[in-house]
Amino acid sequence: MRLLAPALMFALALCACSSTPSPAPPGPVTAEEKTAVASALTVERQWLESWFRGTPVVIGQRHDGAVTIVVPREFCFDRGQSTLKPALAAVLDKVAESLRRVPQAGLPLLAAPEDAVGTSPLALQRAARIQDHLRSRGVPAARIGKASAATVAAVQLRMEAAPP
């Protein structure tokens, strides 16, 4: 029994020191993966365009494949307020749906406008409300960029391939 106790202590100490290897970090995105995401984003751009055709919402696609969504300020917020108008909420609901359909995409640009040129506290508050709305629709916070102030009188969103 006297020899068993030190042997047991040694075995426990040895087990505590051992570690399992951590998983390897994700490798670089392959050309095939980039092409697949670009194709998926093109489909999402077309899908979003079909929803907002004939409205002031502008859906575009950059040369790098990123999808841009621009919603004029008057359809987003009342003057001096950060509460989302129903029109903006409808756009954000479709953007959230797109992000669920393309899990390898993120929304790195999320910018909201101020009422006038100048300070940005209200713009940042509005952008935070947009983030909250997207999260309430199931978009993980890790896939949503930092809230920022728009340089134009519109909400600006950009959906693109998320970094690995």
Domain 31-161: give its CATH superfamily. OmpA-like domain (3.30.1330.60)
Euclidean distance between the first and the last CA atom of the chain, given in angstroms as a whole number = 54
Q: What is the pLDDT of residue 6?
A: 40
Distance CA 161, CA 128 (A): 22
pTM, two decimals, is: 0.78
Structure confidence by residue, pLDDT tens digits, 81-100: 999 999 999 999 999 999 99
Distance CA 77, CA 164 (A): 34
Distance CA 108, CA 115 (A): 23
Q: What is the pLDDT of residue 24?
A: 37
Structure confidence by residue, pLDDT tens digits, 117-164: 655 799 999 999 999 999 999 999 999 999 999 989 999 999 998 876
Contact 88, 71 (CB under 8 A): yes
Residue 9 pLDDT exceeds 60: no
Residue 76 pLDDT exceeds 80: yes
Q: What is the pLDDT of residue 38?
A: 85
Show the tokens assigned to 101.
């359909």
DSSP 55-88: SS-EEEE-TTS-EEEEEEGGGT--TT--SPPHHH
Structure confidence by residue, pLDDT tens digits, 12-42: 333 334 333 333 334 445 778 777 888 999 9
User: What ranges do the domains of the chain cover?
Assistant: 31-161
